[in-house]
Amino acid sequence: KWYRILNYWSVRNITGPKPIPYFGNILSPVLKGKECVETEWYRTYGQLYGVYEFGKPGLRVADPVLIKQILVKEFYKFRNRKEGGDRIAVFKNTLIRATGDDWKRIRAIASPAFTSAKLKHMYPLINECCRDFLAALDRDVSTGRTEVELKQLMGAFTMDVIASTAFATKTNPYSNPNNPFTSKCKALFHERPLMILLSLILPTFITNKHLWKVMVKDPDLNSKFFFDISRDLIRERKKSGKKYNDFLQLLMDVERVDNNTTTTGADSVASDALEGHHVNEGVDELMAEKQALSGMKYSNTTTTGADSVASDALEGHHVNEGVDELMAEKQALSGVVEKKLTTDEILAQCFLFFAVGYETTATTLSYCVYELALNPDIQDLLVAETKEAFNENTTDIDYETLSRLPLLDAVISETLRKYPPVMRVEREAVEDVVLTYGSNGSTIKIEKGVPLEIPVYAIHHNPDYYPDPEAFKPDRFLPQNCHHIKPYTYLPFSAGPRNCIGMRFAMLEAKLCLGKLIQQFRFYRVPSTDVPVIFIATDILLRPKRLIVGVEKLN
């Protein structure tokens, strides 16, 4: 039986690491570290190879042409992420895990929260969080602190930003190092190899028991904290009748009410796609709009309105965008009739925003400061660029000017290249699909239900795409160089209609924090700085065991 199951790929002439009965290929990533194993497999077996999760075959795809077909051109045949594997039950209702029409509906509802207008509205709130963050760090440094653990430092900041901008709530993370918001979020992503294996092997009547969840520190127990917080906030808002201009309010405004099919509020946005003023929209119109707002160079002059959209086109996370991407996104979100959410779906999105918004941005900022500490020449150049852009009297910077700083964008983009928060992008075939790749027009048939994973970390460390990949070189992403980056070899936010919905929010948050931080503090390598980074082998995300650097206040 196992011989037949574990020969699924070999009979299709697809190579890959040798599986073992029952486990397939799951042991190596759990025990050795996903980033090491993925890179080793990629270099050994190439851009297309087969693996097994227990007895289920899966395909690893690293060929840029195939990646575009999967994420963009054939999006609707791979519109879902692979089923199962979630250690947090509520994830099935989140935007990350929702499938089919449910995903489309939730994505269409949530997208307006991340428009340029909304980001500009959030900007003062993020700025206020930056002031609190810098004041707390200043107090610590002024009382003799000379070293910082970056993950803990940045985690407090990103949690404060998420709570303030999305839920109009202050968490006061700097007054209490054991703040429950940050400690519960940390626990959500903590994994232990033995417990993971036992959870996969043991029958569900054991792993579903409350005692088992307590023993293994099941993330579901920590997710309850965020559910309760969200429920309380919703209850208080309904009772007071007060409206807020934030993510939670956007979700509450589209809560589904039984026997009420009236289209109001955000529903009007869904019907907009059916209105007459869209009759002329197609490839030419989408490209004309994109071209009209692109190609603007950085200057110190203040810009407003649509200019902020234009500056966004210069940022590193847009390297994959073109006609196909614009059309795929438009088609993917068309035809949503009822833009409503159930109560469970609202709570699930709240939880997702708390958890993912906290962890990924905190980790990226931590790696960013770590690399600046190891590369003082780059730190000096970035200080010079941001100093020129900041207002000398208020030490502030406006939204548009921040978006136009090329080195700041390049530093963060290179950090995301070297340390992508999510090591793999997942998809699953919802029908049988034949894909074409290679110069000779080779084809591969992917059967319905077969999961695909794109090894982002391994692609980002391929020397054919990024020479000297272990070196930190922000120059790769400067405007005069970024055209050398091959499309679909840079995927920190994935790509296509199912890319990271919060990427522009995350980039704004990271830029403002980093720009202000290096104006007031200098970071440097100390004996306790790990070089290279030591990663947590079993984590879902690419997280370090620790990131310690020296810090001093600038005059």
Binding site feature residues for heme:
500
Backbone angles phi, psi at 53, to 5 degrees: -105, 100
434: tokens are 């034949």
Which residues have a Cβ under 8 Å from the Cβ of 217 and sit 6 or more positions away?
187, 190, 192, 195
Report yes or no: 446 and 61 within 8 Å, Cβ to Cβ: no
- CA separation, residue 21 to residues 2, 17, 199, 237 (Å): 6, 13, 18, 54
Amino acid letter for position 21 = P
Report yes or no: 380 and 120 within 8 Å, Cβ to Cβ: no
Q: What is the DSSP letter of 461?
A: T
Helix (H) or strand (E) holding 528: none
267: tokens are 């529903």
CA atoms within 13 A on the CB side of 43: 13
Is 413 exposed, middle or buried, given 0-12, 13-18 or 19+ CB atoms closer than 10 A?
buried
Report yes or no: 96 and 352 within 8 Å, Cβ to Cβ: yes
Give the span between the Cα atoms of 107 and 96, in whole angstroms: 10
292: tokens are 């009209």
Annotated binding site: 500
Which DSSP string do the residues of 266-332 spell out, in sequence order?
A: THHHHHGGGSGGGTT-SHHHHHHHHHHT--PPP-SS---TTHHHHHHTTSGGGTT-SHHHHHHHHHH
Amino acid letter for position 34 = K
Q: 3-state class of 384 per DSSP?
A: helix
Across the beta sheet with 548-553, the strand order is 147-149, 548-553, 521-524
Give the span between the Cα atoms of 260 and 76, in whole angstroms: 30
Amino acid letter for position 257 = V
Handedness of CA 343, 349, 355, 358 (dihedral sign): negative
Give the span between the Cα atoms of 401 and 127, in whole angstroms: 14
Q: Indicate the Cα dihedral angle 170, 174, 180, 183, nearest 10°.
A: 130
Report yes or no: 536 and 544 within 8 Å, Cβ to Cβ: yes
Give 85-111 as a 3 state SS string. CCCCHHHHHCCCCCCHHHHHHHHHHHH
Amino acid letter for position 46 = G
Secondary-structure percent of the chain, ordered helix, strand, coil, rounded to 5: 55, 10, 35
Give the span between the Cα atoms of 41 and 51, in whole angstroms: 10
Handedness of CA 461, 466, 470, 474 (dihedral sign): negative
